[in-house]
Every structure is written in structure tokens, then in C-alpha cells.
A and B are shown apart, each in its own frame.
Chain A
Amino acid sequence: MDERSISNDEQSAAPRRAAGRPRASESAHGSLALLLNLVRSGVATTRQELEIQSEMGRAVVTDRLATLLKLGLIEEGELGLAVGGRAPRHVRFRPRMGIILAAVLDHSSLAVGVSDLTGRLLAEHHEAVELAAGPEPVVQRLATLFAWMLEEHGSEGGIWGIGLAVPGAVEKPDGQRLFAPALTAFQNWDGFPFVEQLATLVGAPVWVRSGVQTMTMGELKSGSGIGLADMIFVKLGRSISAGVISEGTLHRGAQGAAGMIGHTFVEGGSLETIAGSEALTREARQAADSGRSPYLAGVLARTGEVTVTDTGHGAQLGDPFCIDLLGRCGRAVGEVLAPLANLLNPSLIVLGGAVAETGDILLAAVREAVYRQSHPVVTRDLRIVRSQMGGSAGLVGAAQVVAEALFDPRFLQGWITLGSPREHPEFKDFLARAAVDTVTRPAKPRPPGGSLA
């Protein structure tokens, strides 16, 4: 199920007619789904506008709106402007009819959030996590935090969906299966029915995406990318990857693995081994040990470790080693981004992640390399900025993935007459399969290197 970041609402709201055959919208499911999406997207909010946009008759529109009102999906709003005759009554979508839960798992932290049905975040929480203990405590922890958030921000319709972001690529599920496959992002997790357990514990469908893809969606929805159709988000952390929005749509690639730019070769090795946070930390530690960086040597003596964040502080305070290290890192990132800019002509490149947060020296080096190696037309209006959303980008994006998936016309038709996506037959099937999977698949993760048998 693809995200349609900007144009989905308009596309799904547009009536589709197959000549000589009955329209999908002539079935109750189809017409209800069409009208709900017209109202939700704001394309049509009065009965007259809905009749025009949907090409349905007055009686059908009135009947379907009554059903949507009864299901609690829309409500009567204020009076509109009268243009000859009675003033029309607006109808509007009820974003608090259900809630969406979002979770972002990373190598050392997890984040949870709750949003309304438009994907607007209502609350968020971040905490450190020990992934070494395996997937079972993590799934339990998510369920506990979700239960707490539900108590604080619950709605009459309960939880409608969960968006989950994980490090690394997430394969697209095959055509037969609507929901995501087992996670392979963490060592030893392959084979553990993580998504199935989470869906079973919370009782709602789960959509899974890679962390960088949800961060890209979040940056587009609430960050520097608001209103844009072509942008690149780059996550500079332990791993380096990119999310691409092209003409309003997130590009996921054939296997869902688009954007793995950390594997691109630059002088000295792959980009990740030059500019990833582990590589930078290693170099910083060596400089602290040898005394090449007086600032980092001081940090090491005081705290017993040096981090990428320390390198950023050192650069801001004028430490020559830190300035040189982050400058080299920025140039390497810029050299990999320049071909992407030439290929895709984005209007914005956003840098996020721990390495991007080190400050302006890295940002300046990235800009210099991109501007130097790109066609002048490509860089004429190109902005390169640092993300200001931090860890919130992934949460906003994960909630947005769910908000769009729930109202995707194909999925919406499956649940709209039942009142809640939790009643969708495919989700019910998924839960039934999950119950079997949880029993038959290994309760504990496999050891590295596969089964011992």
C-alpha cells in the first residue's frame, strides 16, 4: 500500500467511472468511502458540493451521509454562505473518532506517540531501550506504553491503527498479505513474530516502514517540507540512508529498500564507514587518546567517553581536530548527495540524525559539496537545512503512514460499513493467522546464523 503524501486525498476523492460498467461508487461501500474521503480531504463539504464531485444523485448522497453520521465518522458543522436559497450546512470529518498509535524503534531508544486520525500528534514519549534483551521485552514495553497513552488520550472509537518504524529496510508485503512481514532489522529478531504479537496485544492493524521513510514523511507533514512535493531527507546516524519524496509521493522502490546511500563508495570506503556516527566516534576517541584534540581529551578525562555530540561541541568551541573531522564528513555526504540532486531536482534536502545535529560546520561542508557538483539549475532554488524535528519526525511520519493507509480507498471500502478498521475482514484474518504464527513460530529469536537444528 503506497503512501500518497500530498495528492492521495485528491486522487482518492476524484470520481472514477469505467464506461459501460457499474461504478465502484454505486455500491454502498464504494459510495460511502468516496463521500468520506471527499469530506475528509475538504474537497467537498456541503451536500451540493458532494453531489457535484461524486456524480451521485441527491437521494444517494443524503442516504450515505446519514449512514456516515450514524457511524460517527462525520458531523454537522456550521452554515455556509447562501447563494440563492437556504444556506448550506457543512459536514466535517471527526478526527477524534479513533486514534492512531505510533512507535519508532532505534538501536538504543524507542519512541511512542498518539495522534488523531489526521496524523496530528497529541503526545509523545521517548526513552532509552536495551535491545540486547531481545524482542519480547520490547513488544511488551510498547504495549504497556500504548495502554498508558490510550488511558490519557483515548477516544470513543479506540485504536484504529499502529504505525511502526524500524531501522533498516522493510520489505513490502507480497500481494496476498495486506500487513507487514516479520522484521529483519535487528540481529536475532528474524523469525520472531513481532508485528503479529503487537497487533494481537493492542488489537489493531500495524503498518511497518523503515525509520528513514517515516522521518521523511514526518518532515514533509510537519517539518521543513510542509507544502513541498520534491524533497530528500537524509538520516546521518549509525547508518546513513535517504528518503525521497518525488512529486508528492514517497518512493519506496521495488523491495521497499530505496535510499540506502550509506553503501555508496566514496574515497576511503563506503559512506557509512567514513561519515557514520560509529566511524566518527572511533576517530574522535583516537584523537582524545593521542591528545590531538585537546577538547576531546578533556571530555574523555571528565566523562570516560567521547560521542559525536562532543565532536559537535568541540567544533563550535574552535577545536581544530573536530572542525576538520566534521568538515571531511560533510564533504563526503555532499559528494553522495550531489548526484541525487542532479537526478531528482529536489527543492529541499533535510539532514537529520545525531551526526546532523553536530552543528553548522557539517552543514556548510554538505552545502559546498552539493553546490559545487550539481547543475546550476538544480541548485538555483535548492535549500539544504538541518532537521528541527529530532526524534519527533519518525513518530509524525509513522502516524501519517497509518492515517493515509486507513483511508486508502481499497482498504476503506473493506471496513467503512463496519464502523472501524479493526473490523476489516483482512485484519481479522491477520489476527487469526497471527494466533497460529505465535504458537508455531519460535517463541524466542533464533540464534545468529540460523537454526541450531
Chain B
Amino acid sequence: MARVLSILAALAGSFLLLFLAAPIAELVGVGGAEGLKRLVSDGELRGSLLLTALCATAATLIGVFTATPLAYLLARRTFPGRALLAAILDLPLLIPHPVAGIALLLLLGRESAVGGAALEMGLRIVGTPIGIIAAMLFVSAPLFVSGAREAFAKVDPRYEGVARTLGDTPWRAFHRVTLPLAGRGLLASSVVMWARAVSEFGAIVILTYNPKVVSVLSYDRFTSFGLSEALPVAAALAILALIPLTVLRALRPDTGMER
């Protein structure tokens, strides 16, 4: 019976693995070489890749800077409204991304109070890289919060306690002990956030169609020129996404912490 269950489990796992890997392998196999060639010849693709990487990096930096204190708070403190705060932070993961784009358009569009005020200061959000960054931040920051929260929770608070008895202020103990111990987890979470930002389409396409990030360019080429033109772009995006995934897997979870 156990042997049958083992075989069933192996078959189920293999099916999922094949289902996830086959389309990507097919995509890279068919369009990968052409995609790499286009990196040399296709200036729009190069510009789009650079724009995607830069906007994703900017969104990730903003996310890490603003979400780290929240993640620490959620991991360490118990307070009224903690569950509600956690739910609000998870919300962007649950709503369809075009809906997220529409919500952002309502908040940041030129007709809105925020968008109007920004425009008066000479800052256009919709239709610019700022819009791309806003959309990327909205859809990917919750992943960082979730991962960072888990990373902080894994650091036993007694490490900080010991640091405090050794003369550290709370901030100094956080900086000297907690942050380095949670470092791998935070880095892994930021890589996940970056990868998610790179692959975003739904929210970006509503907020900023032009300039085009790679996902929008791929869609644009597909609708304008068909599959043959979209394929190299999509393959280039898949190859770009492989970089953070490889980094992520290289980050081993072992921190040597005592529990």
C-alpha cells in the first residue's frame, strides 16, 4: 500500500513539475536563441529590458525601505489591529492585477487629488516610469512583507535581549544583531519581490502602456505582429527572470541560530 502511495505521489509531483517547466522550456527552446540575438539588434527590446530592470529595482528598494519596519512590527509585537494590518498588507495579492491597476489609476490619475497635486508639482505619474514603479510596488511589496516577517520571526528575540544587556539601544541591537541574522531571509524576500515586479503586466498596462516594460512589449508585439515577433521578447523576459531565481536558490536558509 505504501509503495502504491509513493508511486502515486511521484506521478503527481512529476505531472506538476512537467506542467510548470514544459512551457518555459518550450519558450526558451524555441525563442531563446532569437531573443539573445535580438538583444543585439533590437534597440526597443534592450531599452525595455533596462526599463523593466530599473523600475523593478526602484520598486524593490522602496519596498524594502518602507516594508521592513512593518514586517518587524508584525513579527515582534502584539497590538490591537495587528490582524487587520496583516490582512491589508496581503490584499494586493488577492485582487486581480488589472483591478489593482484601475485602483491605482483612481488614486494617482490626473483627475485624482494625489495625481492632480503631483502634476501641479510637475510630476506626472500615469504614463511614465513612476507609474510603472507604483504598479510594481503595489503588486510585489506584500511578498516582501510576508517573507521579511517570517525572516524576523525566525530570529529569537533573546538575541536582541542579550545585545540590550550588553549595552545596545533597541536600534543598535536591531542593526548589529537582528538585521544580520534576518539578512538572508530579507535578501531572499527582496529577490522574490524583484522577480514579481519584473513579471508584472496587468497593473502596469493600465497605468503606463508607454514606455513599455518587457511584459507589455511582448503583449504589444503579439497583438501587432503575431507569435513570431512576441516569442523572442517573451524568451528574453524568461531568461531575465532566471537570474533572480538562481540567486534565490543560492541563498541557503541555514543561519546557525539557536532555537
Partners in one complex: no
